[in-house]
Amino acid sequence: MKCPYCGCEESKVVDSRPTDEGERIRRRRECLSCAKRFTTYEIIETTPVMVVKRDNSREPFNRQKLTKGILRACEKRPISLDQIDGIVDLVETKIQNKLDREIPSELIGEYTMEALKGVDEVAYIRFACVYRQFQDINTFMEELKRLMNEQELNN
C-alpha cells in the first residue's frame, strides 16, 4: 500500500477492524519510511454497478465521487467525517441491495438526499440545488417550502 504522504510502498498494519456493517475492513497503517499513519479500507470485490447518467452514458459507481459531492454539500456544517462515511455506506448498501447492475444516477441522488435530510437540512438543500439543477429562485423556493411542510408534519 503506497503511503499518501511520501509515496513509500512499505507500511505496517497498526490496527484492523470491521466497519459497522461488517462489509469492509478498516485498517490503520503506519508508513515504514516517514512514520505517518493513514487509513485504508478493504472490501469484497463485486461486479461493478454501472451508473446511468442523465445523458444515458454509463460509468462505474464511484464511491469517492459520491463522497466528494457530499463533502461539498456539508462544507462548513457541523457534520463529522464519520457521519459522511455513514451516509456513503448507506447509499452504497442500498445500491448493492437493489441487485441491478445498472442504476440511474437520479436514484443515487434520491438516496443521498434522503440520508442528508436526516442529518442536516442545509446540506440537504445544497445537495438538492446541484442534483436537481434548480433553474431559478422559484424552483429553489418550492423545494424549501416542501421541506418546511414535511418538518411541520413531523412536529
Alpha-carbon span 150 to 155, nearest angstrom: 9
Same domain (yes/no): 69, 33: no
Once rounded to an integer, what is the mean pLDDT over residues 4-33?
A: 91
The total of structural domains in the chain comes to 2
Looking at the structure, tell me whether residues 9 and 19 fall in a common domain: yes
> 56-63 long-range CB contacts below 8 Å, 24 or more apart?
58/102, 61/92, 61/95, 61/103, 61/108, 63/88, 63/92
pLDDT tens-place string over residues 129-143: 888 777 778 877 888
Range of the domain at 67: 47-154
Same domain, 36 and 62: no
Q: What is the pTM of this model?
A: 0.67
Does 107 share its domain with 39?
A: no
Task: Report whether pLDDT(36) > 80.
Answer: yes
Q: Of 30, 45, 60, which residue is a domain's last?
A: 45
Q: Tell how strand 37-43 and strand 24-31 pair up.
A: antiparallel
